Structure 1
Amino acid sequence: MSFTDQVVVVTGAAQGIGRSVAEAYAVAGAKVVLADYQEAEGAAAAASIRNEGGEAIFVQCDVRKEEEITNLINTTLEEYDQINILINNAGVARWKSPYELTVDEWDDVLNTNVRSTFLASREAAKHMKNNEHGGAIINMASTRASMSEPETEAYAASKGAIVALTHAMAVSLGKDHIRVNCISPGWIETGNVDELKKADHEQHLAGRVGIPSDISRACLYLSDPSNTFVTGTNLIIDGGMTRKMIYED
């Protein structure tokens, strides 16, 4: 897939899945805008892309703040004069008992994960609709939108909301040729996958734990300009883990 002359914004791009996604688009020829609140790590990620021959800039952005999201989109337009693809990847998790989770902690998770996704999509779509071929938005949800571990209430709620927001915006923005999809990753190891136990891998039908490039390839597919019939969907990428029945011995 070629994304030459496409401008891609990736939030939460300083490390992990976000950085992998940004790097994949750069390799495919896109101009990439990396956004993250971690200034040093984000700038280093953008510099790494440029050192490999790609085109990238970094914009510091705290997605909990509307004005910083607006600045991110405006900076992208000032630099590249268009925006074709938005990857809403920024997010935060907080594992805490529902008996102890505070309102401020709840709001922080929901604002970081859900409100930012809406705001960034809204601001980017205002400009995507002026493109000849519209644009593509990909939101990062999670398999935890439909299954849970203990003490994940805020995170699970936020990811469920992202799935719902995705199909709602796909309906609203479809008339402007803007496709909106989401990805629900399962276990994606952003550290050293070789340090995991054999049993960790065997929980998956695929025989292994996921890695960031599994998600990057999905982003390229969902945002490919030729895939105009794919919108409003939630693509689950979990190595089949959520389809495997597990019994205790």
Structure 2
Amino acid sequence: MEFSDKVVLVTGTGQGIGRAIAERFSALGAKVFTVSRTASSGQQTVDLIRQAGGEAVFHQADLQHREYVEQSVKAAVAEYGALDVVVHNAAVFPFVGIEELSEEDLEQTLAVNLKAAFWFAQVSIPFLRQSEYGRLLFTSSVTGPRVSMPGLSHYAASKAGLNGFIRSAALEFAKFGVTVNGVEPGLIKTPAMANLGDESNTERMRANIPLKRLGEPGEIAAAMTYLATREAGFVTGQTIVVDGGALLPENPEALEW
């Protein structure tokens, strides 16, 4: 994998998976334009990349608003003169049941997780089609497209919708040679895991994963960078599940084999 002189925009880079994606693209030679809502953590990611010898800049934006999506893409092109890969990784998931779900929580979840995907595609496609090989990538989830969890119905709906968008966008943009794909993480060791409970709850979830561990953010980044390569040019409209085999057991007894 080699991305020298490629310009990569990554959202949600303040921590966890987004930070790992930005760092991996940089380590492979890309110029990384990072986008995050929180300035302190977003700038920290850029500082880490620069300390490692990479090239990156930080742009602050609240992606629940279309105008900030447009500003982010235009700022990336203004900074580097081109755009080759867009990775929309940013997401929100307030942990709340349907009966208590507020209109504000629902709108923010759908706006950042799903609606922003439309706006990134719409605004970036004129630049991606000019690339030698343009890539439009998304961090989806197994929650929604494949499994469910109480308290995350809004998040599940946004990610199921995102997978549908990936397939449709792949058809529309194939004529430009731009591929559209995503990665579906399972349980990944990130600060966001705190939303799902304390360490004892994490341990119970770990026990139900065949590989008996949580995933690492870098393992999601590895799948994402593969989808951005020239070698992945015949892959479009697809998502890669990275979950340690958690979806495989037919029933709990299968884990005791």
Normalization by structure 2: what TM-score? 0.91
Is the 8 Å Cα contact of residues 143 and 184 (structure 1) preserved in structure 2?
yes
Is the 8 Å Cα contact of residues 183 and 234 (structure 1) preserved in structure 2?
yes
CA distance in 2, matches of 1:49, 1:229: 30
- From 214, 223, 235, give the equivalent of 2:219: 214
Unaligned runs of 5+ in 1: none
Unaligned runs of 5+ in 2: 194-198
Question: Per-residue displacement from partner, 1:27-55 (whole Å, max 9, x unpaired)?
Answer: 00000011001011111111111111000
Is the 8 Å Cα contact of residues 140 and 162 (structure 1) preserved in structure 2?
no
Is the 8 Å Cα contact of residues 182 and 224 (structure 2) preserved in structure 1?
no
Q: How much has 1:104 moved relative to structure 2?
A: 2.3
Considering only aligned residues, what root-mean-square deviation do their CA atoms show, in Å?
A: 1.9
Equivalent position of 1:51 in the other structure: 51
Going from structure 1 to structure 2, the CA distance change for 1:20 and 1:198 (only over 3 Å counts) comes to same
Question: Per-residue displacement from partner, 1:131-187 (whole Å, max 9, x unpaired)?
Answer: 2x2300111111012211112110000000000000000000010011000111000
Is the 8 Å Cα contact of residues 46 and 57 (structure 1) preserved in structure 2?
yes
- Equivalent AA in structure 2 for residue 233 of structure 1: Q
- From 224, 233, 249, give the equivalent of 1:228: 233
Question: Per-residue displacement from partner, 1:181-205 (whole Å, max 9, x unpaired)?
Answer: 0111000011599x77765433222
- From 238, 242, 246, give the equivalent of 2:243: 238
CA distance in 2, matches of 1:192, 1:66: 24
Equivalent position of 2:196 in the other structure: none
CA distance in 2, matches of 1:153, 1:209: 22
Q: How does 1:1-249 map to 2 (within 5 A)?
A: 1-131=1-131, 133-145=132-144, 146-191=146-191, 200-247=205-252
Normalization by structure 1: what TM-score? 0.94
CA distance in 1, matches of 2:203, 2:92: 28
CA distance in 1, matches of 2:147, 2:46: 35
Is the 8 Å Cα contact of residues 20 and 213 (structure 1) preserved in structure 2?
yes
Is the 8 Å Cα contact of residues 10 and 34 (structure 1) preserved in structure 2?
yes
CA distance in 1, matches of 2:85, 2:91: 18
Q: How much has 1:246 moved relative to structure 2?
A: 3.8
CA distance in 1, matches of 2:242, 2:231: 21
* SS of the residue 2:231 aligns to: coil
CA distance in 1, matches of 2:52, 2:113: 31
Is the 8 Å Cα contact of residues 136 and 178 (structure 1) preserved in structure 2?
yes
